[in-house]
Amino acid sequence: MNNIGVDHGNWGESVAVSYLRKIKYEILERNARPVSSDKRLELDIVAVDKVSRTLVFVEVKQHKSRGIVSISRLKSVDKRKRKNIKAAANYWRLINKRLGGCRFDVIQIFGTPEVGIEEIIHTKDVRLFGEKDRHVNWS
């Protein structure tokens, strides 16, 4: 039995990867689980913005259509999800010895594999955390 939500999510992440490559991002990892024993700590895409030379953790959100979702586009990244993204990013940076600055982006894909891409919204440098946690310097 197929899980349509997972299939659509995988499609959305593939669309996001293609989009990021077109705008000069280097994809380092996809569906990264820096702590294999904790499935909550997953990073959709880890990339480097080659233009700004910045490490970027990308959260991908796939929606069937634009509809009401666009009113509060980042609401699906709730407090629990933000905490997990932050922890996963911290572990990933330590394990991979990437201790410089980083940023968090959100890419929203509107569409489905059956219908195609309606729209892509890329929000850079999202304030998922308070200002003091936004650019953590681990050195």
Predicted confidence band at 137 (pLDDT cuts at 50, 70, 90)? very low
pLDDT in tens, 66-76: 665 454 555 56
What domains appear along the chain, each with residue ranges and CATH number?
4-126 (3.40.1350.10)
Average pLDDT, the chain: 82
For 133, phi then psi, to 5°, come to -95, -5
pLDDT at 134 over 50: no
Instruction: Specify whether the CB–CB gap between 91 and 42 falls below 8 A.
Output: no
Mean pLDDT value of segment 88-107: 93
Q: Exposed/middle/buried for 97, CB within 10 Å: 0-12, 13-18, 19+?
A: exposed
Report which of 14, 17, 106 is spatially closest to residue 59, judged by C-alpha positions.
106
pLDDT score of 115? 86
Residue 89 contacts residue 104 (beta carbons within 8 Å): yes
23-54 pLDDT, tens digit per residue, is 999 999 999 999 988 888 999 999 999 999 99
The DSSP bridge pattern shows strands 25-32 and 43-49 to be antiparallel
